[in-house]
Structure 1
Amino acid sequence: MSGTVSEYLSSGPTFAEGEVIDRIEAFRRRRPRLRDEIVTLAHGAGGKSSAALVDAVFVEAFRNPLLESLGDGAVVTLPSGERLAMSTDSFVVQPLRFPGGSIGHLAVHGTVNDLAMAGAVPSWVSAAFVLEEGFPIAELKEIVADMAAAAAAAGVQIITGDTKVVPKGAADGLFITTAGIGVVPAGRELSAAAVRPGDKVLLSGTMGDHGMAVMLARGDLAIEADIRSDTAAVSPLVEALMAAAPSTRWMRDPTRGGVGTVCNELAQASGLGVVLDEQRLPVRPVVNGACEMLGIDPLYVANEGKFLAVVAPDEAEAGLTALRSQPLGDGAAEIGTVVAEPEATVVLRTGFGGTRIVDMLVGDPLPRIC
């Protein structure tokens, strides 16, 4: 289907037509606006509050065409005609170690994955450390070793950096900031502007693994479950997808704010609608169970080793097969379709045949997970 959400959902019960229109119009009016006078944890959650802060403070101050695309990285064209992607990120996760990884792994994976989402092959990374007075040198060496191992596995070099030490109490142990540069292959163009009605939305694996792994590792929820972070470099998956589906339109990794927020970013950037199928959303049973106990929707829980891709409908099957052929993509699924209307809106078709609007993340149910 490539028309409207009503056509796409016509095979099952839904809202009355008038109710659908009223709900969509009310949703469109709820655009993120900065109303806060102080910074809160919600401003770092990747949802509505983050979008409002970025738009009202940073985009307003630094406005330029590259920044205004609001991607996880920027693609610049050199005088030679070659194109480079650049991205930067900071990591403040607590605890510093969790099942499946550490802040060191995240610091590399987060940046190289953002470069891959821009279509680039990651090549070089910088790293800056803010250390709190009293931080154990032995633990610092272990985290740096994790970074070195992650960089080697991702095929990148850490080529420059910086270190600052602040008095005890001025930081929570260790913060890391990384930036990365990658080369975009000739002819590769990824943009929300390229997305078309009828395109398919692929997810490279299960939702919510990283966010729940970090939450349970904090040990204050009295929940025991075998959940490990999925933190990993996704470049091999991206290259497999691009080889099988060369007309891939757009990609984004669902970190803070999860799949639900990233789909909203896609809808707003493209001006199109996204219809997700609840029964196709891949979630490990143990992750889903933990989310249910905490009252959290897995749609809003972060991953650090998965990505969303919008592909042409005639390449969706080949793209999905390519993802599933890789160890990191064995849980890949086609989870939705792009539609012409309702514009800039995400709708979920539930397992009961009804529908609901999927908004951007509101608040911060999972603080400091990356």
Structure 2
Amino acid sequence: MPFSVAVAGASGYAGGELLRLLSSHPDFSVQTVTAHSNAGQHLLDVHPHLRSLAHLTLQPTEPDVLAGHDVVFLALPHGHSGALAAQLPDDTLVVDAGADHRLEDLADWDAFYGGEHHGSWTYGLPELPLAGADRQRSLLAGARRIAVPGCNVTAVTLGLAPGIAAGVIQPDDLVAVLAVGTSGAGRSLKANLLASEINGSAAPYAVGGVHRHIPEIRQNLRKAGAASVSLSFTPVLVPMSRGILSTATARLADGVTAADVRQAWSYYDDEPFVHVYPEGSYPKSADAVGANTALIGVGIDEAAGRVVTVTALDNLVKGTAGAAIQSANLALGLPETTGLPLDGVAP
């Protein structure tokens, strides 16, 4: 008997991607979809590509509409999940793709988000190394409240965490510059996302240490073993619908060799969705489009004494919806890879 599923915020990009992946998942059955301003519309009116779910109509995002399902995915803007989730039954698996339950430190929440802090949930990044322990995967089994990482966070964390865990890079001099597709900004109408504004252009945003994903990255790298983290993080909006290409660099620890670096990133050798490219090869953002993969190239800048990691992922799949389903699979005791695409889409 499939698990019954509701998706809140189904009219947005993240919600639509959740539905695309869930529609072919053998153990999940989407019963309910909800929205705010689009409530009352047929799902196909807002997501005409989801033909297999043509029978669904968007309902209001209210607790009584979501209650009664085995699994509830929340694809809502930050500040909208906390109060809603608190009204759902404790035995329901609730997976929050928004920011409300990611940060453990109240001071971080106040500094970067503000408003009521609803606490932290089990973190939905299975591949994250935990210093002196297992991988984050071990904490997801049986969880009933899961917080999905931010998409940029996933790219930077996966790129750098093995080096932190192995002690081959220094955590006090990290730099990350990301090329980010426009769907990461959501589906709401914004002037800077109009085709005439973004086509043929690249535009930095949240410059100078103010991006909301920074404390989450620092939190993850501390879990991987860093005593403290200093990170300069700059995202750049580029004219592609999907994708993130993160170039993250770190200073080599004293005495570390190229062989030590390769050995550190072999941490991912058995991971189904994180793949490290051969030495001298680096991914393109297009390599991961449509797939639940994070693709990583690792090199050394000998002159600068730095490790360079290049990580590509689809912000809507491994960066959001795929990560949510991957974590839900683990929580429910299903094979982790169930219903998730390994192959991307080209051209």
Sort the TM-score into its range (normalised by shorter chain): under 0.3
TM-score (norm 1): 0.27
Structure with more helix by fraction: 1
Greater relative contact order, per chain length (Cα 8 Å cut-off, separation 6+): 1
